[in-house]
Amino acid sequence: MNRREFAKGIALTGGLMASPALLRAQGTALRFAHYGTASDSVSAAATRLAELAAEKTGGALTVEVYGNGELGSSPTMLEGTRLGTIDMATTGNPYFTASLPALNLLDLPFLFQSDAHAFAVLDGEVGQTLMSSMSEAGLQGIAFWELGFRNLTNNVRAVVTPEDMAGLKIRTTPNPAHVLAFETLGAQPTPMPFGEVYSALQTGAIDGQENPVNHIYANKLHEVQTFMSLTRHAYTTSPLVVNARRWSGLSPEVQTALQEAALEAATFQRQLNDEEDVAALEEMRAVGLQIEEKPDTDAFRAAVSDVTRAAYVEQFGAALLDQVDAAATA
Q: At what angle do helices 115-122 and 125-133 cross, to 10 degrees?
A: 50
- Asked if residue 265 has pLDDT above 50, the reply is yes
Grade residue 195 by pLDDT with cuts at 50, 70 and 90: confident
CB 291 within 8 A of CB 284: yes
- Asked if residue 11 has pLDDT above 90, the reply is no
pTM over 0.85: yes
**Where, residue-wise, is CATH 3.40.190.170 in the chain?**
3-146+238-278, 151-233+280-327
CATH of span 151-233+280-327: 3.40.190.170
**pLDDT tens-digit series, residues 276-322:** 999 999 999 999 999 999 999 999 999 999 999 999 999 999 999 99
**pLDDT tens-digit series, residues 96-121:** 998 999 999 999 999 999 999 999 99
Q: What angle do CA 199, 226, 193 make, to 5 degrees?
A: 30
CB 313 within 8 A of CB 177: no
CATH class for the region spanning 3-146+238-278: alpha beta
Q: How far apart are the first and last CA of the chain?
A: 13
Averaged over 18-47, what is the pLDDT? 79
